[in-house]
Structure 1
């Protein structure tokens, strides 16, 4: 996965409490080859009208929205099924961080395993941020994982980014769990050599 240390970008507010993984990427697209990118399916149905045309009112369809790498979402984002494809769709679209009051537990963990940084802030702070960027769409948000903080525009202040230390280390280094394990191969090999020497019967 791509390493994440610090990201500064304008942010896009996605409306909707309980936005589930089927809204993030409809299940029918999960059969597609991910090598071609799941980003094209992000919010596929909810960003379109009943006539299947892109809705110009949907935040990600507005001019310049594609440049944003940070989303501001509402409560319980990513609830529903455990599909990892929801995180793939966000990452493949170029989203590096999602800020919201709360996330579905499985979505939150899937995000960490794929280098997408989920930031939990209070509902009041998220509402104020969404309101601010609606008035100032070019306002910049900084998610600094190395410093462990998110810097919001205007007078909204600086807030801590709290995630599991192991996941944080993996994301900072751009390593998944297997790749992180492989960084200890020298120690693993030394342990195995010592173990075989003291317990030779294991090799029988």
Structure 2
């Protein structure tokens, strides 16, 4: 998993409330267990029409936001089913951070396990960042996980809080496998002791 330290990027404004995981990645794309290749189908039913053509009104299809790495979203982002494909699709598209007033719990935790930083801020601050994001590609937002701040294009900094363990995992690029591998020496020592104690196993 890639480390998340400081990110300066284009923020796409998505003021819609209750964006659920089926909107993020519709159910027909859940057949794969690969984490790559889902970005093209991110927000599929909003990005494309019935013939597969891009919807020019959808924010991520607009030239200013095609390379967005941050989403500023309405309340309750990631609600619905617990599919981990949702953060996979966001990450594959290039999104590393989502800012909202609230997240569904399972989606929120899945983000950390996949290298995405979900940030919870008060509504007035999210609204200010939403307004900033609507300025287009010239309005870049900076997210500093070490300092735990989001800085708007005008220099206004908004502090946020995140669980210390989750913060460490993102800063060091540790997913569940990485955390396990930190204990490799202890695991090897246990296995060696177990073999000596029970050689017949």
Taking structure 2 as the reference length, the TM-score comes to 0.88
Using the TM superposition, give the Cα deviation of residue 52 of structure 1 relative to its aligned residue in structure 2, in angstroms: 4.7
Q: Is the 8 A contact 2:75 2:103 kept in 1?
A: yes
The yes-or-no answer on 1:60 pairing with 2:66 is no
Using the TM superposition, give the Cα deviation of residue 147 of structure 1 relative to its aligned residue in structure 2, in angstroms: 2.0
Query: Which 10-residue stretch deviates more, 184-193 or 87-96?
Result: 184-193
Q: Counterpart in 1 of 2:171? A: 172
Matched residue count: 200
Q: Counterpart in 2 of 1:19? A: 19
Q: Is the 8 A contact 1:170 1:177 kept in 2?
A: no
Partner Cα separation in structure 2 for residue 145 and residue 35 of structure 1 = 24
Using the TM superposition, give the Cα deviation of residue 137 of structure 1 relative to its aligned residue in structure 2, in angstroms: 4.1
Partner Cα separation in structure 1 for residue 33 and residue 193 of structure 2 = 44
RMSD of aligned alpha carbons: 2.3
Partner Cα separation in structure 1 for residue 120 and residue 44 of structure 2 = 25
Using the TM superposition, give the Cα deviation of residue 141 of structure 1 relative to its aligned residue in structure 2, in angstroms: 0.8
Q: Is the 8 A contact 2:36 2:88 kept in 1?
A: no
Q: Is the 8 A contact 1:129 1:156 kept in 2?
A: no
Q: Is the 8 A contact 2:25 2:42 kept in 1?
A: yes
Alignment of structure 1 residues 73-92 onto 2, 5 Å: 73-92=73-92
Q: Is the 8 A contact 2:64 2:136 kept in 1?
A: no
Q: Is the 8 A contact 2:72 2:133 kept in 1?
A: no
Partner Cα separation in structure 1 for residue 147 and residue 125 of structure 2 = 20
Q: Is the 8 A contact 2:5 2:144 kept in 1?
A: yes
Cα 1:50–1:155, aligned 2, differ >3 Å: closer, same or farther? Answer: same
Partner Cα separation in structure 1 for residue 101 and residue 50 of structure 2 = 30
Taking structure 1 as the reference length, the TM-score comes to 0.87
